[in-house]
Amino acid sequence: MLKITGYSDQISVVLGDKISFMVNCEHPSYEADIVRVICGDVNPDGPGFNEDVIDSPVSGTYNGRKQEIYAGSFAMVESSALLENLESFTVQVMVWPTTPRKGVQSLVAKWSVPDNSGFALEIDESGGIAFLVGDGKGKVDTVSIGKPMVEYEWYFAAASYNADNKEVTVYQEPMVEYPPIDDASTVTKKVSVAPAANAVPLMMAARCKAPKGDVVIGDAYYNGKLDSPAIVEGVLSRAEMEMILNRKAPTTLENRIIGAWDFSLDITETTITDTSSHRLHGKICHMPTRGVTGYNWTGEELRWKHAREEYGAIRFHEDDVYDAGWDVDFELTIPDSMKSGIYAARVTSGEDEEYIPFVVRPKPGREKKVCFLFPSASYMAYANEHFGTDPWPAELMTHRAIELDKHHVFLNEHREYGHSLYDRHSDGSGIHISSRLRPILNMRPKVQTVLGGEGSQLWQFAADTHITVWLEAMGYDYDVITDEDIHYRGTDVLKPYNVVLTSSHNEYYSKAMYDAVFDYIHQGGRLIYMGGNGFYWRVSYHQTAPGVIEIRRAEGGSRAWAPKSGEYYTGFTCEYSGLWRRQGRTGPNVMAGVGFSSEGFDISSYYRRNPDSFNSRVAFIFEGVGKDELIGDFGLIGGGAAGLELDRVEREFGTPPHALCLASSENHTDTFLVVVEDILFNLPGSGGQENEWVRGDLCFFETPNGGAVFSASSMAWAGSLPHNDFQNNVSRITKNVLDRFVDPKPFPIKKAPAPPMKDSYTWRVKGSTPTAGAAE
């Protein structure tokens, strides 16, 4: 188990900003300092791990302390006199359970776990609805239906308490009846105790175990959806309950409502709205999923904004995590001496070590000509992914030559820190929301992964430092900005730069990010796409809560969790999510000329030049590279420049008609397969030894106003840059492109008739029409 973990409150800061660091340390003390991360790869065959220690007030010794994370989402309403002084009352809610037999799960409760006081409508050990009352003096009584509910079905759940005679009635009614299934019942029973008043919050999908400052620690977390919870004064008839559910209560009944929460009214927010006259509004904790279908969804509308009343549910999970809520251990105010770059708070105690990365962006007016785009959204998407720690088939492990770093080994032992967008919740559902306000154990230098290919075995953060160490070795002065900077500041944050370089895997993009980069390159900017499988998934950032993204993997794509019908639009913004390539004018081919084509995680290959590489438009790219020279038959990621995930040109998906397909990879193993969204067109014969779509294409094209794009189309490209002390043809080509892109001289354009459409095979083998699109 890791004994030191931590996170920061910000991912991007500028001169004068204050950044806070939260640390969990099981040692009595630890040392902390600030370092600039240059290379995060520990492979001895590479340039070597490289960091610069920064002189800062942070440097010093700190007391260690254990800080815990309390996973599980819920909604809560602060206690009030109305809720504390209930006599006879009815509580009701619509329930869609996903793990009804898991054990006790609270639905609506004003229950204090330490002294067993209050009441709770819950699912008990039987898997059915139960009502719990406690007097706070050690006596607890329960009335239970005793019949398990069926997973993924809607139920009406309610309980009434009569203070005059201590009689409780509990209801469990399925919306759909299955003849052989006995899951409906109403039970009436007298209890021996009355629910005692307490000052804990009213909670939905959990009950209160303990307050911790602004954080409430929950208990008995629920997995599933809740819709239309309400508490009403007095013992209601079943007909009155239905009136409350349908929001058609007459005035006399409406006046008895203590609280009725309509989750559809503030789907994009972190609040819940009480529609009663008492306005007992509340909030959600740990970011449960909103914008999901309710009990009354008709199927006639797929976008929740168009039928809010049918999207009145919230889906909760016992392992949701948003903000760890830890106390601050130390802070840093960014001094004028810290130039733009990738930094980290380094925390050590004995042999235990932790890095907490952040980016210092340039102060406006001090920007340089070159900018590296730090893919914070993609890092969040993969945050604490567990698929790389679970057992893998032996054939995929054949080339795993070195032991994985302890950070990755321990990912599987720290599931309390939450999951990635590639994992599943404990109830088996796919995860849609990921946050950076928690320890992210794989967003660190030195971290290795089974997905990273033979050699360095890197994926994302540490792999991206192959680009920054190359920039340093080549003598380029560069800035670093994050996805969040682009999302919130748009094209303005990119305009100062002649050229921007992506990371090795900039997979997740919001619409604001996509539009900013697209507008930048169409206003004369230059883009070097240094990776593979970029601009692939469309995500949404929350509009008020910082540091969190959401995806709905709608209709297809690699590792697409099939969302429930009607849930393709994110709760954060009501944007259609899923693959960018499905969304009209947008997509990776439109942006970069190439799009995701295939993937494999063993041995990387090389590129061979195509006829387009001899077009005079790109002579500058191949200066110093031989006609028959294989490009990138070496590298730290799988032993070649073309590996892990690869992109290809494809006019049908938006590759500009004047683009040049300069070189293509070949001879991939059969562990490389055509990407899942194309595989139906390629069955059988989807492997690297038999399918020509299993390849990466180097691509170049000019954009309006003198701009241009160069795409490497492989996640392994950056891993070949350091080979032979940076003296190699991958490094040479990248430097040739960057030097020309830094030059403000516009790329010339000559108008010509549109060339005939080419399939990707013709484009690669025969080249582009010489007169199409740009001046020779």
Confidence tier at 413 by pLDDT (50, 70, 90)? low
- Please give the Cα distance from 29 to 16 (Å, whole number): 29
* Tokens at 555, concatenated: 């209709």
Could you give the CA distance from residue 27 to residue 30 in angstroms, rounded to a whole number? Answer: 7
CATH dotted code for 4-66+324-370 = 2.60.40.10
Tens of pLDDT, residues 625-683: 999 999 999 999 999 999 999 999 999 999 999 999 999 999 999 999 999 888 766 66
pLDDT digits (tens, 9 = 90+) for 548-564: 999 998 777 766 565 56
Cβ atoms of 507 and 397 within 8 Å: the answer is no
Higher per-residue confidence, 761 vs 314: 314
pLDDT (tens digit per residue) in 22-39: 999 999 999 999 999 999
Under a CB-based contact definition with an 8 Å cutoff, are residues 754 and 744 in contact? no
Q: How confident is the model at residue 3 (pLDDT cuts 50, 70, 90)?
A: very high
Which residue matches tokens 């032996």? 394
Contact 269, 56 (CB under 8 A): no
Distance CA 586, CA 519 (A): 12
The string of pLDDT tens digits covering residues 669-726 is 999 999 988 876 666 788 889 889 999 999 999 999 999 999 999 999 999 999 999 9
The Cα 357–Cα 562 span in angstroms is 33
Chain-centre distance for alpha carbon 357: 17
pLDDT greater than 60 at residue 770: no
Rounded-to-integer distance, Cα 249 and Cα 76, Å: 24
Q: 122 and 130 in contact (C-beta within 8 Å)?
A: yes
CATH of domain 74-316: 2.60.120.200
- Which H or E run contains 741? helix 729-742
Q: How many residues does the chain have?
A: 776
Mean pLDDT on 351-367: 94
pLDDT digits (tens, 9 = 90+) for 34-71: 999 999 999 999 999 999 999 999 999 999 999 999 99
Question: In this predicted structure, what is the pLDDT of residue 637?
Answer: 94
pTM metric for this prediction: 0.94
Cα-Cα end-to-end distance for the chain: 60
Q: How far is it, in rounded angstroms, from Cα 393 to Cα 245?
A: 51
Which pLDDT band holds residue 449 (cuts at 50, 70, 90)? confident
Take residue 348 and report the two structure tokens written for it.
């050590």
For 231-287, the pLDDT digits (tens) are 999 999 999 999 999 999 999 999 999 999 999 999 999 999 999 999 999 999 999
Distance between CA atoms of residues 303 and 574, nearest Å: 7
406 — pLDDT class (breaks 50, 70, 90) = low
DSSP secondary structure, 62-91, as one string: EE----------EEEE---HHHHT--SEEE
Q: Which of 586, 524, 478, 465 is nearest to 47 (CA)?
A: 465
Element (H, E) at 764: helix 760-766
Within 10 angstroms of residue 554's Cβ, the number of other Cβ atoms is 21
- Report pLDDT for 43: 92
**What are the pLDDT digits (tens) for 481-502?**
999 999 999 999 999 999 999 9
- Containing H/E element for 283? strand 282-285
Alpha-carbon span 720 to 632, nearest angstrom: 6
pLDDT band at 451 (very low <50, low <70, confident <90, very high): confident
| Buried b or exposed e, range 28-44, using 16+ CB within 10 angstroms | eebebbbbbbbbbbbbe
DSSP state at residue 735? H
Tokens of 234: 């007095």
Q: How confident is the model at residue 313 (pLDDT cuts 50, 70, 90)?
A: very high
Confidence of residue 162 (pLDDT cuts 50, 70, 90): very high
Residue ranges of E strands in 537-676: 537-541, 548-550, 578-579, 595-609, 642-648, 660-666, 673-674
pLDDT of res. 405:
52
Q: Residue 393: pLDDT above 70?
A: no
Instruction: Give me the residue spans of the domains in the chain.
Output: 4-66+324-370, 74-316, 377-766
For 304-372, the three-class secondary structure string (H helix, E strand, C coil) is: HHHCHHHCCEEEECCCCCCCCCCCCCEEEECCCCCCCEEEEEEEEECCEEEEEEEEECCCCCCCCCEEE
- List, for residues 196-210, the tens digit of each pLDDT value: 999 999 999 999 998
Token digits of residue 315: 């889906």
Largest CA distance in the chain: 94
Checking if the pLDDT of 402 tops 80, the result is no
